[in-house]
Amino acid sequence: MSLLSKFETYDARRRELNRIGINPFGVVQERVLSATEAVINGRETILAGTNNYLGLTFDPDCISAAKIALDEQGTGTTGSRMANGTFAEHLALERDLAEFFGRRAAIVFSTGFLANLGILSTLTGRGDVIVLDADCHASIYDGCQLGGAEVIRFRHNDAGDLAKRLRRLGERAADTLVVVEGIYSMLGDSAPLADIVAVKREFGALLLVDEAHSMGVLSARGLAEAAGVEAGVDFITGTFSKSLGATGGFCVSDLPELDSIRVASRAYVFTASLCPSVVASTRAALECVRKRPHLRAQLWRNARDLYARLQGLGFTLGPEPSPVIAVLQAQPEGALAFWAGLLERGVYVNLVLPPATPAGMSLLRCSVSAAHSENQIAAIAAAFGAVRADLETTSAA
């Protein structure tokens, strides 16, 4: 295979999508109207695939904090944290995060992807073992691979399978890093964290939980807090790009080794630090998560409402009600047509196709926001019903 020939498959797929005039991976929000609406293809569209769980992207407190930071500190830091890119507010955000999670220390990264890449590839290396949930995010897989540790997958959300794999490692189990997520981004199910913590304790392993989709969602701090097992979790990673409505990532831990991980982590050392406005809006968003639990309550009302409506319509959904609601489709082609139909009816969701999905499923992935109105939730469900009817009519004709 030549250097470039491996792209032929991608090219063929792109040409096919261009031919049928649908590109689910090139959607443009021509005008952003609010946390839950944008103009797409010239049409006002309800956004049901943004991960904007608490709707904070348009929160007045977050926006005003960002504006003040812009005026006072400028548009960017133009440097990495180790060089000229550490402002007092980066340290303040790290203190905020450590306090928020009740941990000794926090490190802020420029994205959630970089947080996983930086922590995993520094914490583990050749000769180490990582046992991770098979459905973990790409950033976790890439971080593990970059460090060069041996990677063993256990069956998704199966603490028994985790125990089996740790047992097989013998003495090495005590030196193993176990990695799971809070809420899984594709099917919206949560890890059985109490069981996983019990297993990791039995074998003396370390545990890292990525709370990207569960922080501010399952509780203020995420699944570990909601499950009452924070003391059993050694590292928590996460992102500012979901419930906190910005961009950036972090790791918190009580372990003193975190200080060394910071300076040894290439994903921290060799990239520009977060813009002052992002740091400021993230600090304000953390305050919102802390002080406005009603947002979380509204998010769950909306999530349960949409799940119940879609279930009532007879769709096959992910295993449990959650702000991530996966509508399972039999075939990628059908999923694509359904996704395009929803967009024509003014509803945007995420189309997720194999190989990016667990077990080769095709998914219409909805993410619900506290900012969705009851009418919008009803409209999203109604659009699903209408598109199914449209497609049944077309296939019968």
Q: Indicate the helix (H) or strand (E) that contains 179.
A: strand 176-181
Interface characters, 224-243, with ligand PMP (x: CB under 6 A)? ---------------x-x--
- Catalytic one among 242, 265, 277, 322? 242
Residue closest to ligand PMP (Cβ): 112
Give the total of residues touching ligand PMP (CB under 6 A): 14
Annotated active-site residue 185? The verdict is yes
Q: Considering only residues 192, 232, 249, 276, which one is a binding residue for ligand PMP as defined by CB under 6 A?
A: 249
6 catalytically annotated: no
Q: Determine which residue in the list 112, 216, 276, 318 makes contact with ligand PMP, applying CB under 6 A.
A: 112
Neighbours of 323 (CB within 10 A): 28
Provide the pairing of β-strand 249-253 with 235-239: antiparallel
For ligand PMP, give the closer residue by CB, 342 or 352. Answer: 352
Distance in Å, CB of 139 to ligand PMP, minimum = 5
**Window 194-213: contact mask with ligand PMP (x via CB under 6 A):** ----------------x-xx
Active site residue 242: yes
- Contacts for 39 with CB less than 8 Å, ≥ 6 apart: 29, 30, 31, 33, 45
Is position 143 an interface residue for ligand PMP (rule: CB under 6 A)?
A: no
Q: Are strands 235-239 and 206-210 parallel, antiparallel or unpaired?
A: parallel
CA distance 81 to 76: 12
Region near ligand PMP per CB under 6 A, out of 2-10, 42-50, 89-97, 108-116: 108-116
110, 137, 200, 213: the active-site residue? 213
- Report the interhelical angle of 60-73 vs 276-291 (nearest 10°): 150
Q: Which is nearer to ligand PMP, 112 or 341 (CB)?
A: 112
Q: Would you say 81 and 275 are in contact if contact means Cβ atoms under 8 Å apart?
A: no
Q: Which of 50, 57, 121, 139 binds ligand PMP (CB under 6 A)?
A: 139
**Strand 43-47 relative to strand 37-40, pairing:** antiparallel
- Of 53, 87, 101, 113, which lies in the binding site for ligand PMP, with binding defined by CB under 6 A? 113
Tokens representing 334?
Answer: 């059908």
Q: Which stretch binds ligand PMP (CB under 6 A): 95-103, 105-113, 144-152, 280-288?
A: 105-113
Site string for ligand PMP, 148-187 (x = CB under 6 A): ---------------------------------x---x--
Host H or E run for residue 251: strand 249-253
DSSP string covering 103-167, please? -SEEEEESSHHHHHHHHHHHH--TT-EEEEETT--HHHHHHHHHHT-EEEEE-TT-HHHHHHHHH
50 binds ligand PMP (CB under 6 A): no
Q: Is 137 in the site for ligand PMP (CB under 6 A)?
A: yes
- Residue closest to 310 by CA, chosen among 377, 230, 396: 377
* Token duo for residue 118: 């930086």
- CB 77 within 8 Å of CB 87: yes
Query: What residues does 152 pair with on adjacent strands?
Result: 131
Distance CA 74, CA 237 (A): 28
Catalytic entry in 110, 121, 139, 185: 185
59 sits near ligand PMP (criterion: CB under 6 A):
no
Chain centroid to CA 245: 12
Output 37 or 211, the one with its CB closest to ligand PMP.
Answer: 211
As annotated, the active-site residues are: 185, 213, 242
Kindly list the residues in this chain that would bind ligand PMP in the complex (CB under 6 A).
111-113, 116, 137, 139, 181, 185, 210, 212-213, 239, 241, 249
